[in-house]
Amino acid sequence: MAYVIKDSCIACGACAAECPVSCISDGDIYSIDASACIDCGSCAGVCPVDAPQPE
């Protein structure tokens, strides 16, 4: 299982800075490399719009 970033992402970058395995990439909407995500939830904890959700 992994987290996925929903369309509500405003590309603030907070999640990428918190990810312990650096598996979040920037873009118009940030994205998570599901093969590297360890499902820790840190990204969801810092996101202002609750865009990262468990898959």
Q: Nearest 5 degrees, angle CA 25-CA 26-CA 32?
A: 35
Task: Let me know: does 44 contact 3? Beta carbons within 8 Å.
Answer: yes
Does position 31 interact with ligand SF4 (CB under 6 A)? The reply is: no
CB of 54 to ligand SF4, least distance (A): 8
Does position 34 interact with ligand SF4 (CB under 6 A)? The reply is: no
CB of 53 to ligand SF4, least distance (A): 10
Task: Let me know: does 53 contact 44? Beta carbons within 8 Å.
Answer: yes
d(CA 51, CA 55): 12
Query: Under the rule (CB under 6 A), what is the footprint of ligand SF4?
Result: 3, 5, 9-15, 18-21, 23-24, 30, 32, 37-43, 46-49, 51-52
